[in-house]
Structure 1
Amino acid sequence: MAGVLLLVLAGCGTSNAQDSSITIGSQGSDLQIWEHIAKSKQAKDAGLNINVKEITDGTQLNKATTEGQVDVNAFQSWAYYKAYNKENPNGKLAALGTTYLEPLGIYSKKFKKIDQIKDGSTVAIANNPANTSRGLELLQAAGLIKLKKDFGALGNLKDITSNPKHLKFKEIDDTTGPRVLNDVDVVLISNTVALDGGLHVLTDSIYHEKLDQSTKDNVNILAVASKDKNNSTYKKLVKLYHDKDIQSYIKKKYYGTKIEVNKPLSYLDD
């Protein structure tokens, strides 16, 4: 009887250990950040046993989260999250909290300022829907074009209502941005791709996103399956991400280009 009791207790102990572990799905620089966090003293002090799993396709990563292969994911913007939920009403996600804004930048080797861009210049812009719309909104913020009033997260080039400089657009794979800088007049490049190409959005771009209400849709979040939105253990990850020592590491590692956004989710809904 004593032996059976010990086996039962041992089994319960193993179950609890498994329950306390969290699998985070991620990709790119976010994957690197969470691998660092998983090994950190801060994670240990918080009692979190974090496993990091790489899934490079965003849609598959979200599906893996709703299907339980991943507990929490860290890779997507608020806009991407909203678009995914709209397209997948039977497998919705819930946001846990905000993490950062990684500014999209406008780069050029021919012009040093936005107002120097000449009539008829060619602008290279990402050919995937989320980054196309984001790029167009940045061009509008820079005063180069105007978009439809109801322009949304899946907007495209057809939604341009005013193009006073007669800009020509060339759609490219957004991972090739740095490589086409010598071939076109202006290129829009996401920060992760820019860093990989040796570019710093805060110093090398001629214009970039700022953290304000106009860019709130581009703030990155942690996301879970909707059934887990109130999971108190998962919510600890948000606080862990914003720990001052973790933030110090991120700032140094990515040269200050991942701008911390530590705000309530209501900030994104407003």
Structure 2
Amino acid sequence: MKRRKQTKWWWLLALVIVVVIGAGLNWVAKGGSQSKQTITVGSLGADVKVWQHIANSSAAKQAGLKIKVKSFTDPVQLNRGTADGEVDVNAFQSWAYLQNFNKDSKQKLVALGTTYLEPMGIYSKKYKSVKDLPEGATIAIANNPANTARGLKLLQSAGLITLKKSFTATSGTNKIASNPHHFTFKEIDDTTGPRVIDSVDAVLIGNTIALEGHLNVLKDSIYHEKVDQSTKDNVNVLATAKKNANKAAYKKLVKLYHSKDTQDYIAKQFKGTKVEVNKPISYLEK
């Protein structure tokens, strides 16, 4: 009888050990302190520094994440790399740019969350105001649909042109209804904006690229976007391949971006030119 009881207790003890080991392995697999989820974040321009700061932060360690930051110079290559799995998450593009990529590509990306809005600016070395731009002035504008449309809307906001009612977030110069000053539009690779500023009357530059050229949109542009509902298509997002849309570890990146430490760093580094937008994706889809 005594032997039977001892055997029973040994079985119970073995069962407890198995359960504890199984629970421990499951805890580690889900991101316990002994295991870190490695995420490769691709970015370009000044945003690379932001994600390097986040990668080195104590908040990232506390979240159980090991972040590797990969720098790119070509936005299309970065999106394709994200879709192919070379990069897990990318941080560089506006909501409109993402929509246009998905429209033109079989590879689909989704937004994980919003990050910021950087005002696009009109820059000129020759003129101090948009009112000073002469008849027939040459204006350089991005050659990718999302930023072409964004630039044209900015020119309309400045009172320089008017657009057709059918104008969309990916429309081009063929949707200009009125060009009273007979401006000539020169399409350029939008990453070259700061380099062509001396050769045209004016150039439209997104702020990430402007910062690379040591330009501050709030101080150096002759006109820039105002932050309001009309510019929500220009809000930047974190994007990933469609199959990764529900990965909890990837969604942690959104919270890390909006942490106080990260926002303090951004404010210090970029002097107000990256305006935080902490909104649900539904805000962009309306």
Q: Normalized against structure 1, the TM-score is what?
A: 0.87
Structure 1 pair 216–237 and aligned structure 2 pair: CA distance change class (3 A): same
8 Å Cα contact 2:166/2:175 also seen in 1: no
Q: Name the CA distance, whole Å, in 2 between partners of 1:169 and 1:92.
A: 31
Q: Name the CA distance, whole Å, in 2 between partners of 1:19 and 1:196.
A: 33
Moved more, 115-124 or 255-264: 115-124
Which residue number corresponds to residue 160 of structure 1? 176
1:220 to 221, 230, 236: 236
Which residue number corresponds to residue 81 of structure 1? 98
Structure 1 pair 49–154 and aligned structure 2 pair: CA distance change class (3 A): same
Cα displacement (A) at 1:136: 1.0
Moved more, 220-229 or 169-178: 169-178
1:49 to 66, 69, 74: 66
Cα displacement (A) at 1:22: 1.6
Q: Looking at CA atoms only, which structure, 1 or 2, has the larger radius of gyration?
A: 2
Unmatched 5+ stretches in structure 1: none
Which residue number corresponds to residue 25 of structure 1? 42
Please list the CA deviations of residues 195-245 of structure 1 after superposition, one character each: whole Å capped at 9, or x if unmatched. Answer: 222221001111111221221111110012222222222111111101111
Query: Alignment partner of 1:177: what SS?
Result: helix
2:75 to 51, 58, 63: 58
What are the residue-to-residue correspondences of 1:97-136 with 2, within 5 Å?
97-136=113-152
8 Å Cα contact 2:97/2:147 also seen in 1: no
Which residue number corresponds to residue 258 of structure 1? 274
Which residue number corresponds to residue 208 of structure 1? 224
Structure 1 pair 93–171 and aligned structure 2 pair: CA distance change class (3 A): closer
CA RMSD, aligned part only? 2.5
Cα displacement (A) at 1:125: 1.7
Q: Name the CA distance, whole Å, in 1 between partners of 2:116 and 2:190.
A: 20
Aligned residues: 263
Cα displacement (A) at 1:15: 10
Q: Name the CA distance, whole Å, in 2 between partners of 1:59 and 1:182.
A: 27
Which amino acid is 2:64 matched to? G
8 Å Cα contact 2:83/2:109 also seen in 1: yes
Please list the CA deviations of residues 77-119 of structure 1 after superposition, one character each: whole Å capped at 9, or x if unmatched. Answer: 1011111112234x32121100011211011233322233332
Moved more, 234-243 or 146-155: 146-155
Q: Name the CA distance, whole Å, in 2 between partners of 1:134 and 1:75.
A: 16
Structure 1 pair 22–175 and aligned structure 2 pair: CA distance change class (3 A): closer
Which amino acid is 1:118 matched to? P
Unmatched 5+ stretches in structure 2: 1-17
Query: Alignment partner of 1:62: what SS?
Result: helix
Which amino acid is 1:166 matched to? H
Indicate yes or no: 2:263 matched with 1:247.
yes
Q: Normalized against structure 2, the TM-score is what?
A: 0.83
Which amino acid is 1:60 matched to? Q
Cα displacement (A) at 1:14: 8.8
Q: Name the CA distance, whole Å, in 1 between partners of 2:203 and 2:177.
A: 21
Name the % identity: 61
Query: Alignment partner of 2:139: what SS?
Result: strand
Q: Name the CA distance, whole Å, in 2 between partners of 1:139 and 1:72.
A: 32
Which residue number corresponds to residue 137 of structure 1? 153
Cα displacement (A) at 1:178: 2.8
Moved more, 32-41 or 184-193: 184-193
Which amino acid is 2:60 matched to? A
Q: Name the CA distance, whole Å, in 2 between partners of 1:59 and 1:125.
A: 18
Structure 1 pair 257–182 and aligned structure 2 pair: CA distance change class (3 A): same
8 Å Cα contact 2:45/2:212 also seen in 1: no
Q: Name the CA distance, whole Å, in 1 between partners of 2:35 and 2:44.
A: 24
Q: Name the CA distance, whole Å, in 1 between partners of 2:43 and 2:57.
A: 17
